[in-house]
């Protein structure tokens, strides 16, 4: 937990980029560490 690590409350802002058809691209699944397909 990030708050426990830092010792105080924090706000995490994330930006996510999605590529069309990522589930069908083996190399992308490998890069993300997906084991079971």
Query: Which pLDDT tens digit goes with each residue over 1-37?
Result: 889 999 999 998 999 988 898 778 878 878 878 776 5
What is the reported pLDDT for 36?
A: 66
What is the reported pLDDT for 10?
A: 92
Kindly list the distances between the CA atom of residue 12 and the CA atoms of 4, 15, 31, in Å, as whole numbers in the listed order.
14, 10, 23
Q: What is the pTM of this model?
A: 0.33
Check residue 10 and give left, alpha or beta (phi > 0: left; psi -120 to 50: alpha).
Answer: beta
What is the reported pLDDT for 7?
A: 95
Distance CA 10, CA 14 (A): 13
What is the reported pLDDT for 26?
A: 79
């Amino acid at each position: 937990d990030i708050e426990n690590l830092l010792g105080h409350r924090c706000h995490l802002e994330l930006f996510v980029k999605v590529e069309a058809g990522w589930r069908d691209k083996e190399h992308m699944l490998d890069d993300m560490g997906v084991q079971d397909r």
